[in-house]
Chain A
């Protein structure tokens, strides 16, 4: 210490710190806070997405697009029914449910959502 300058000694003293006994606990708390931050962020993004989706949906309904889609879906529903009638035996109705055009579109939308969720999960796992 006699040869070294005081400031260098001070630098060294500041650099020398004992390991805190609760360092592991501190790290866990930090990780918890990081997780909390991510959860909050995900919730925020999800809520904003839902609100945005509702607004967008409202705009689409108001623009008369629904009528055009309805016509399209009825045509596709009829086509699907004709296809099913040609394949299935006469008088067969699965589960006794009639297949409407809306049900087909809703099923397709749910399938897209399910694929999206699966892809998100897959990306996170990778």
Chain B
């Protein structure tokens, strides 16, 4: 299957993964080309500055290359790398002794007053995330951007599950207020279960 691939650019992700697992660095390079932007964007949404986001994204791709044989193809390659990147960023975040923000999160003020209907089209997610506290932003991005469950996020953050859940709930409430004011949606904790 993977042996017959002539051009990495036209190959399927799983074929490239199979090639990379045999040491094919060109194949892995193509995977990086395809998926680096979403991974970098996720890290920025988690609160990393651009330089740190790029640094962690590179670390994540290198870690993915090292452990590529662990990727079973159960989800997408991009989702897998995003989870690795999110965990690496949290590790760095915790090293920088900023984890107190999780337990003592100040209530972030909304940067702008929610407008009338239709504003959701104009305020994008990146702007809306800025209205969240550091901890809320981190927890929401880990659970909705990286696809981690509340329990996995709590484990990565080394924080009680209840704390993560409450950060996610508060974060979702603020995002709902910013992105879709006046609209009715389902309960916040319905998707990602602990």
Contact = CB atoms under 8 A, between A and B. Distances in A.
Interface of A: 1-2, 5-11, 13-20, 23-24, 26-27, 29-31, 33-35, 37
Interface in B1-53: 25, 28-29, 32-33, 36-38, 40-42, 45
Nearest to A4: B185
Given A20-B37, A23-B36, A34 B57 contact: no
B61 interface: yes
Interface residues of B, number: 35
Contacts of B125: 10, 13-14, 16
A24 B32 CA distance: 9
Given A10-B144, A29-B58, A2 B183 contact: yes
Contacts of B54: 26
Given A2-B183, A7-B185, A23-B36, A30 B29 contact: yes
Contacts, number: 89
The dominant DSSP class at the A interface is helix
Contacts of A33: 58, 62
B191 interface: yes
Nearest to A14: B145
A18 to B, nearest CB: 7
Contacts of B58: 26, 29-30, 33
A9 B180 contact: yes
A23 B61 CA distance: 13
A27 B40 CA distance: 12
Contacts of B183: 1-2, 6
A34 B65 contact: yes
A34 B28 contact: yes
B157 interface: no
B188 A26 contact: no
